[in-house]
Amino acid sequence: MPGLYIGSTVPFSGKNTLCLGLGLKFRAEGLSVGYFKPVGAQAARIGDAWGDLDAHTISQALGQDIPPELATPVLVTQDFMHKAFAQGPGIDRTGPIVEAYKKISKGKDITLIGGSGGFSHSGLYAGVDGPTVAKALDAPVLIVDRCTHEMHYDSLLSIKETLGDKLLGCVLSDVPGHYMEELNAVLIPFLASRGIKVLGLIPHDRLLGAITVNALAERLGGKLISSAHRGDVVAESFLIGTMQVENFLTHFRKYPKAAVILGGDRSDLQLVAIEGRCACLILTGNLYPNDIILSRAENAEVPIMVVRDDTYSVARRMESLLARHKLRDPHKFQQAAQLVASNLDVAAIKQGLGL
């Protein structure tokens, strides 16, 4: 039965979004869909077993009820890495992957195979990198490249050189609106001239990158000291308040649903953010606000979170959190499906798979 390996040039590029969106689209068209993540890096306790958290989330969303250890036969834990380092090269670890894939794909019209990390390099030390796994499963490959800051042209060309005709094409994800014209006029024709089909442009979507205040507090180790009942408020982005009030206002007007990261001593910016009804205030350095700020925040129902880390450290963690957290909330599933259905050449993908 046909399978499709979905990898990416670098981590956190949109593989999960693509797997979920394509899976839901194929199911809506009446196809029987399997989902498989050969190598998982998000190890978590799922019921009585260990599995990959992302794989479990997508399996459930696609109506697939299988044991976590079958959905992800290779979990990258400290123990796994130590064994791989000790054993050295030459060990074939694809056997369990192939066996699990046979069980999951049996009777399915299509099985989506979710990659882990960057296609060409992640897992190379243990022989479970993307090219090795895709070859073992004899699956065509679709590569996602996130275009928020830059495109990874050389990576795409290198992957094409490695895979040849096994590369079905690529999808450019998280594309800012101002970048669309250049992509269509210059970059897509260039890739086509090198034999790489661009099968979709997925625009930047704020909802997919959003995270609730409660989830932020949990992951940042923060304490909500104001309007804790508003922990279900969603932050779509974040702003760092290290500037003058006038400059802060300019940025804040562009991102009104942002979590605002501030030093606990910046009461001037705290007031501005509260009056603008930001998603939440994150006060760094374990510094608590004064009574006026607390009173204003309670009246405006703006959550305030206090964290121990400094502003720079929190900002770095926030960037990672927003990238990793995209599809952990069920309310985002339909949004992912709509994005994929509206912006991918699904017909070309089906044709390439022989569906």
Kindly state whether residues 89 and 197 are assigned to the same domain: yes
- For residues 180 and 316, give the distance between their C-alpha atoms in angstroms, rounded to a whole number: 28
Three-state DSSP class for residue 103: helix
pLDDT of residue 329: 64
**Mean of pLDDT values over 97-120:** 94
Beta bridge partners of 241: 262
What residue type is assigned to position 187 of the chain? Answer: L
Hey, what are 141's tokens? 């490959």
Kindly state whether residues 147 and 122 are assigned to the same domain: yes
pLDDT of residue 47: 83
The pairing of strands 49-52 and 43-46 is: antiparallel
| Dihedral of the alpha carbons of 269, 272, 277, 280, in degrees to the nearest 10 | 10
Kindly state whether residues 174 and 230 are assigned to the same domain: no
pLDDT of residue 132: 95
pLDDT bucket at 324, cuts 50 / 70 / 90 = low
Return the CATH number at 24: 3.40.50.300
Could you tell me the sign of the dihedral formed by the alpha carbons of 180, 183, 189, 191, in that order?
negative
Residue 42: which of 5, 4, 16 has the closest Cα? Answer: 16
Kindly state whether residues 11 and 159 are assigned to the same domain: yes
Kindly state whether residues 191 and 94 are assigned to the same domain: yes
DSSP state of 37: -
The pairing of strands 198-203 and 167-175 is: parallel
Kindly state whether residues 154 and 218 are assigned to the same domain: no
Kindly state whether residues 189 and 231 are assigned to the same domain: no
Tens of pLDDT, residues 198-244: 999 988 877 776 788 888 888 888 899 988 888 888 887 787 876 67
Kindly state whether residues 237 and 264 are assigned to the same domain: yes
Q: What is the pTM of this model?
A: 0.80
pLDDT bucket at 277, cuts 50 / 70 / 90 = confident
What residue type is assigned to position 166 of the chain? Answer: K
The pairing of strands 110-114 and 3-8 is: parallel
Residue 89 clears pLDDT 80, i.e. is over it: no
Three-state DSSP class for residue 273: helix
The pairing of strands 33-36 and 110-114 is: parallel
Kindly state whether residues 119 and 33 are assigned to the same domain: yes
pLDDT of residue 243: 65
Q: What share of the chain is helix, strand, coil (3-state, %, to 5)?
A: 45, 20, 30
**Mean of pLDDT values over 22-51:** 91
Kindly state whether residues 175 and 226 are assigned to the same domain: no
Kindly state whether residues 184 and 308 are assigned to the same domain: no
Residue 166 clears pLDDT 90, i.e. is over it: yes
Length of the chain measured in residues: 355
Query: Is-contact 13 152, C-beta < 8 A?
Result: no
More confident residue, 264 or 155: 155
Domain total in the chain: 2
**Mean of pLDDT values over 65-86:** 91
- For residues 299 and 312, give the distance between their C-alpha atoms in angstroms, rounded to a whole number: 29
More confident residue, 247 or 71: 71
More confident residue, 252 or 283: 283
How large a percentage of the chain has pLDDT more than 90? 41
Where is 82: in which H helix or E strand? helix 78-87
How large a percentage of the chain has pLDDT more than 70? 94
More confident residue, 20 or 177: 20
Which domain does 316 fall in, by range? Answer: 211-324
Hey, what are 257's tokens? 């649903």
